[in-house]
Chains A and B, each alone.
Chain A
Amino acid sequence: MDFELFTNILFATLRTGTPLILIALGEMVCEKSGVLNLGQEGMVLMGAALGFIAAVVTGHAGLGIIAAILAGMMMSVLFAFLAVTLVSNQVATGLALTIFGTGLSGFLGAGYVGMAIDGIAPFPIPLLSDIPFIGKVLFSHDPLVYLSWVMFALIFWCFRSTRLGLTIRAVGENPEAANAIGIPVMKVRYGAILFGGAMAGLAGAYLSLVYTPMWSEGMSAGRGWIALALVVFASWKAERILLGAYLFGAASIMHLVLQGLGFEASPNLLAMLPYGATIIVLVIIASDAAKAKLSTPLALGKPYRPQV
């Protein structure tokens, strides 16, 4: 394997990991507040479809991104209304959201299949991108990759040392107690769900405007589900989500590279590699049950009814 191929593999790894990071970080914030939203896949698809449509209609990829974020948020408002305000079962509601989003995005995007757009151009960071190797791997990406790093840093910092992070954790651990000390539980949960929706929409935009600038039905290919698993295996820790997402990205790329190099194995078997590798590594990291429990949101998935 020559050096240039290696550089390209790392470059592609970061690109492949980015949508997972966006979805998983959003879902992590949502779950930290005690809400399990299984609708990620549906929200990603809606973001991808509406983002692409907006970009085609307006001819502006930036507007496509905004439309995608809004689409994700619209979907999550629907979820929040059902699961928080009406206290419905979170699992069932989330599953319904995924099915709904998958169908609706296919319906809305039907007329746009096969169209091509320019997508969002890479934005090599001046000076930094001129560094050999590192410049190519880290600083020659499109803006959304950089944005995913910013979001990671913000969320990491938020849960580590801000009152907002503390508040979200408190609501996710014990909503009754949080209410008793005057934290507006419903508002916090709405906020967390909306944030999750926005991130999922953004991930959708990444898929249909950057990663492969086109729309096809079901193009998220299960990334919403992978991200959900990633959050759990990463023990609700942002840094582990980053690690897991890039691991997954690396393994995905490796399976293509291995096939390209004529590696003798069933392609179907190789396609399993990313899923298997990511889960195994994260399970090993999270094997200390005692510590894992401390970061688990105790009230995850439990509906909260305010007293009257």
Chain B
Amino acid sequence: MNFMTPLDLSIPSQLTIALAPDLLLMGGAMILLLWAAWRPEGVRHQRTIGTACIALIALTAVVIGWFIYRNATATQGPIAVDRFRWIADLVLLLATAGTIALSMDYNEREGMMAPEAHVLILLASSGMMLLAAARDLMVVFLGIETMSVATYVLAGMNRRSPRAAESAMKYFLLGAFSTAFLLYGMALVYGATGATNISVIGDRAVQYGLTGSPLLLTGVALMIVGFGFKVAAAPFHMWAPDVYEGAPTPITAYMAAAVKAAAFAAFLRIWYEAFTPVYPSWHNAIWWLAAVTMAVGNIVALRQRDLKRLLAYSSIAHAGYLLVALTVNSAAGSEAFLFYAFVYTIATLGSFAVVVALGEAGERSLNVDDYAGLWTVRPWLAIAMAVFMLALLGFPVFGGAGFFAKWYVLKAALQVPSPHWKLAVVLVLTSVVSAGYYLYVVMVMFMRPRLAGAVVPARSRGLTGFVIAASAVLLIALGFFPERLVRLTRGSAPLSALSVPAASSSVPLPLTRPADR
């Protein structure tokens, strides 16, 4: 195959090539689904299928690596072939592999023997990859539905748990509700511009002078609401803590890391490619969405004592930080987003893995205070958890790359002609607030004595232990040597439609911007 010329997406065979990783994952998942159903449920079979799923993910990652290596490009079409897509895919696949590894241990302990669970995760992930690739509102919708339907089922996977049932029901109702907003918004945008392809939408908004069109702006507003629900941005976050608390822990990790990252990838691409011409109209809305999300997530998290709820609010707060990258609307913003998503995914996956390791059968011991004195009985687990907490807090060296992620977002916010320094101040001040709960977890583990009569947690199982160790080591290593990852994210901005060279991060968009609020 010759990638020197861009793939022509109007030719079906070339479109197929552009979709190769997605098709591979989806098709492979179908075959695995048949295999899963072939034999009776059992511990061994469950593990076999899980391992096969991870192998399939690795294969897909290799294919994506090949696309990155060959620097594939494509003409305009419903699918994007660019760096942004590939790196978002890698983040999603990483989160998926980690989730499946955790599920293999977790499902065995909780007596959930259905091997289809792993395959469902793969199907959700293929929807996510579609979201990362989508350059057409129809494909976005397709991706969102594929992802969501599978995730609704996953949230309720543990049929014996009433909390899981509640969680799944809530997730389903609110998911459907938010999709309706999104779809209505898309319909209005189509009505205003007559296009579903997002780069065409952007072009037409300029050509037809639609920047003040009420129809387009209403559509944009409705889509903000829809995506606000999907990424759990305040004030559309109310479902997240309940759903995260009730769902099986690996699935919670999956929702907090992968689902959020995928929805954000589509969110970012649509806003960067299609809605940049109407930037002045949505800028204030997203600005406030980011500020409120950071404030609400961090402040409410202070009062949480259930670890899963605490991490749920933490993930809301991080959605706020990611929204800052979106508000910026520059190449630096999308690079910061990818870097942040990568680091956040690892840290979130790791911290939920610790919750899996310490939760006893039936998900007891989820209160932070049950972790008291963990350091004296399971030192490595406590140290790993401290690394994840410090990474989420954004601390250098001991929190590894967590600091660099936050730094990248700050840099993006300040590296535009009119720096968003007020948003930057909100970001750092809410980060200080977040020290109140992240450090509380660390404090409890290291500084409180072990509760009398508390049982020593069993040694964590192999895969869970591996996920924890790998996440911690990866974070720390990236904390010393982030250059490779930074290079990978550079020049990945999905801005090609707007005549902006994506090569340099310091080039701002050639648009007049309103002064920072």
A and B are interacting partners = no
